[in-house]
Amino acid sequence: MKSYIIRRVLLVIPVLFGVSIIIFAILSLFSPEQRAATFITDVRQLRDIQGVIRKHHLDAPIYMQYFSWIKEVLKGNLGWSKTASRPVLEAFFYFLPNTVELSLFSAPFIILIGIYLGSTAAVHQDKSVDHITRAIAIIGWSLPTFWFGLLLLMIFYGYFKGLFPPESLGLNSSLYVNSKDFMRFTRINTIDALLNREWWIFVDALRHLVLPVITLTVVQCALVMRIMRSSMLEVLGRGYVITARAKGADEKTVIKKHVRRNAMIPVITVSGYLFAGLMNGVVITETIFNRKGLGWWWWRAAVQLDIPAILGAVLFNGVLFVLTNLVIDLLYAYIDPRIRLG
């Protein structure tokens, strides 16, 4: 077990190094002039762009640039994001709460609904329940997130006269939230509203959350559902399930205790992909619903060529994904005796 953990932790290093290479490769795809633009703060500098390039060594050999860049990154200096009008690292913490809120509300639905539907489908394999859930999964998987979100807006914002509006807060509540009377603990609207005992803000924040959460859940749920189904089917055919049945355990106990629990392990392994899917979904969902979170910021950055923010986005996703996978693998080793003892 110990050697497994050490091996697994060491494996993080080459991947993080690889991520840094990818980010730098993206950076060097931009022309020196485009990159010089990130250093220009004054119109007068435009007269001497070549000077700016020379001053910041943008024409130096590529490996020299890589070392000076990585030195800055390790110091925590990721540059200035013009779309957020603050340094990248600060902007990151500024936009994080909105995204965390969205993921916090979607993840339980994605996992619970996915596991429930997936296991129900497997238990009733080849019956109508199975066919219907599979059809739902395939349709959910094929839905363009941006289109589905817009359709929801069209119906619940347009047709039902502003029942579930876009953005993250209404005008009144956002004025109040940003005033001095409102204590910001976590900067997550719903949690802060609860801590301040301002129910109307809590309700308002929830109303703004409904559509994005549905959008994310419907699209992401399919993956969990599909994996849960196939893993349940596999476990249902195992010897210990037959044993349990032979000993006279009723079907409910067999499914609950023997099958579903074991079938959940593959779901844990793919939750890394779930995280990646969530991040992809967040970019689109936040853009459509105009929720000012990380995804929205990255979209602005990509459209407006905000190079430091784009690179910061890749770095953040790389680091977080590597860490998530590390945690998952260690968790997996802890749960699965074949690895724990092997």
Partner 1 sequence: MKVSITNRKRSEFKEELLPRIKEIKFSFNRFKKSPLSLMGLTLIIFFLGIAIFAPQLAPPKYPHNPYRIPRDGYSAIPRPPSPEHPFGTTEGQYDIYYGVIWGTRTAFRVGLTVVGSILVIGIILGSISGYYGGVVDEVIMRIVDTFMSLPTLVLAMALVSALGRSLDNVMKALIIVGWPSYARLVRGDILSVREEDYVEAARAVGCSNLRIIFRHVLPNAIYPLLIMASLDIGAMVLTAAALSFLGLGAPVGYADWGQMTSFARNWIVGPPDNPLAYWYTITIPGLFILFFVLGWNLLGDAFRDILDPRLRRR
**Site for partner 1, rule CB under 8 A:** 11, 14-15, 18-19, 21-22, 26-27, 29-30, 131, 134-135, 138-139, 141-147, 150-151, 153-154, 157-159, 161, 276-277, 279-280, 283-284, 287-288, 298-299, 301-303, 305, 310-311, 313-314, 317-318, 321-322, 325
The rounded distance, in Å, linking the Cα atoms of 220 and 112 is 12
Nearer to partner 1, 27 or 339 (CB): 27
Shortest Cβ 141–partner 1 spacing (Å): 6
The rounded distance, in Å, linking the Cα atoms of 324 and 268 is 11
- Report in angstroms the alpha-carbon separations of 263 from 123, 176, 214, 256: 12, 47, 26, 10
According to DSSP, the residues that pair with 81 across neighbouring strands are 86
Shortest Cβ 319–partner 1 spacing (Å): 9
Strands (E), the chain: 80-81, 86-87
Nearer to partner 1, 46 or 132 (CB): 132
Query: Mapping DSSP to helix (H, G, I), strand (E, B) and coil, where does residue 139 land?
Result: helix
The rounded distance, in Å, linking the Cα atoms of 50 and 217 is 50
Nearer to partner 1, 19 or 73 (CB): 19
Q: What is the chain's alpha carbon radius of gyration, rounded to the nearest angstrom?
A: 24
Shortest Cβ 134–partner 1 spacing (Å): 8
Nearer to partner 1, 22 or 339 (CB): 22
The rounded distance, in Å, linking the Cα atoms of 71 and 49 is 24
Nearer to partner 1, 37 or 195 (CB): 37
Shortest Cβ 252–partner 1 spacing (Å): 24
- Angle at the Cα of 115 (from 112 to 116), degrees rounded to 5? 80
Number of H helices, E strands in the chain: 17, 2
Shortest Cβ 337–partner 1 spacing (Å): 24
Shortest Cβ 302–partner 1 spacing (Å): 4
Shortest Cβ 20–partner 1 spacing (Å): 9
Shortest Cβ 50–partner 1 spacing (Å): 22
Instruction: Give the DSSP per-residue string, 284-336.
Output: HHHHHHT--SHHHHHHHHHHTT-HHHHHHHHHHHHHHHHHHHHHHHHHHHHH-
Contact (Cβ atoms closer than 8 angstroms) between residue 235 and residue 262 = yes
Nearer to partner 1, 198 or 329 (CB): 329
| 242 Cβ contact partners less than 8 Å away, ≥ 6 residues apart | none
Nearer to partner 1, 146 or 332 (CB): 146
Nearer to partner 1, 305 or 331 (CB): 305
Nearer to partner 1, 18 or 51 (CB): 18
Shortest Cβ 151–partner 1 spacing (Å): 7
- DSSP letter (8 states) at residue 159: I
Q: Which of 271, 278, 283, 287 lies closest to 313 in space, CA to CA?
A: 283
- Angle at the Cα of 177 (from 172 to 179), degrees rounded to 5? 95
